Structure formats: C-alpha cells, structure tokens
Amino acid sequence: MRLRLTPRDTSFYDQFAAATRNIVAAAELLEQVVADGSDRTALNEQLRAVEHANDEVTHEVMRKLNSTFVTPFDREDIYQLASKLDDVVDHLEAAGDLVVLYQLAELPATTREVVSVLVKAAHATAEAMPRLQGLKDLAPYWIEVNRLENEADQLYRRTLGTLFDGRYDALTALKLKDVVDQVEAAADALEDVADTVETIALKES
C-alpha cells in the first residue's frame, strides 16, 4: 500500500455506491419491462428517472474531481469508474425505452434470461463497491461479474439465432436486435466496471 501523507476526500466512494444502487434499480426495472404483461410505459418512466438521477451522481463526481486537490486514487481511474458506471445505466434505460417505443408485444425468452443475469451482476457490483475504499475481498467480485458477462454473451448469441431463424418478420427482428444490443452493451459495461475496479485495486495495493 502506498503511503499518503495528505488527507483524501473519501466522498467519492459515496457517489460510487450511489451509482451502483442506481444500477440495481435500473436493472430490476428493466427486468419488469421485459416481462410479459407488465405496464411498460409506467416502468419505463421510472427507469428514465433513475437514469436522470444517475446523471446527477456522475456530474457530482466530475465536479468534485475538478475541485479536489488530493483524490483517493488516480484521477484518471476515478473518471473511468464514474463513466463506466454511468454507461451501465444508460444502456439499461435505452433498452427499456426501445421496448416501449417499438411497442414490442413479446420478447424472446433468452432476452428475459439475459436481463436476469444483468440483475445478478448489478447486485454483485453494488455489494462490492463499499469494499473499494478498503481494497479488500474484491477479487471474487470481478471474477463473478466476468463469469456472468460470459453467460450473457452466450444468451446474446442464442437470441440472435432466434431473431433470424424465420419466426419473426424482418422489421420485428431488427427492432428486437436493437433492444438486445443495448442489453448486451449493459453486460459489457458491467464487466468494464469490474475491470476498472481490478485495475484500481492492483495499482493501490
């Protein structure tokens, strides 16, 4: 551990924790959006509100980054982590928005499955983030998120196979692909968060 002789602003950790709570909320709302028979419009409004709230969290991190002399770890890594956390929520909100805009009556079962995987990864991220300050017991987190991302990748490929096997008309298949691409991007962004946490842990330990 590197010795530091000046105090650091630790409130960044509070903002990161807030962002992960938003990720959990967004993932759980998307899980409801993709469920058959849900009130998708109302749920998507809630999802949009979470995305706006997380934008504020991200902006606060950037404001603090510009006004704080001594940061808890490298400025570049703080910026990277805040950006990646925000990316997750953006992709989750975009997926929900497309379901509503395209008026998709039903989504492939594998899409619902991959969103459930995202919920697990979101919870793993939220549970791990408070440990970032002490840099303890983080390896199981990024290993688990990597495993879940691999599972999401397999489900994504299966979904693509379903979309273009002839059971959907071409326009519906393209609309559904837009949705599953955003879901896949959210899975990738969650892995990017885990990779960033791993980088920070290795640098600071």
The pLDDT value given to residue 204: 81
Helical axes 170-204 vs 109-128, angle rounded to 10°:
20
What is the CATH architecture assignment of 11-204? Up-down Bundle (1.20)
Q: Is there a contact between 77 and 196 (Cβ–Cβ < 8 Å)?
A: yes
* Per-domain boundaries in the chain: 11-204
pTM for this predicted structure: 0.92
Distance between CA atoms of residues 117 and 31, nearest Å: 10
From first to last of its 205 residues, the chain has per-residue pLDDT tens of: 444 433 455 689 999 999 999 999 999 999 999 997 779 999 999 999 999 999 999 999 999 988 888 888 889 999 999 999 999 999 999 999 999 999 998 899 999 999 999 999 999 999 999 999 888 889 999 999 999 999 999 999 999 999 999 889 999 999 999 999 999 999 999 999 999 999 999 888 7
SS3 of 177, please?
Answer: helix
SS3 of 141, please?
Answer: helix
Q: Is there a contact between 141 and 186 (Cβ–Cβ < 8 Å)?
A: no
Distance between CA atoms of residues 45 and 18, nearest Å: 20
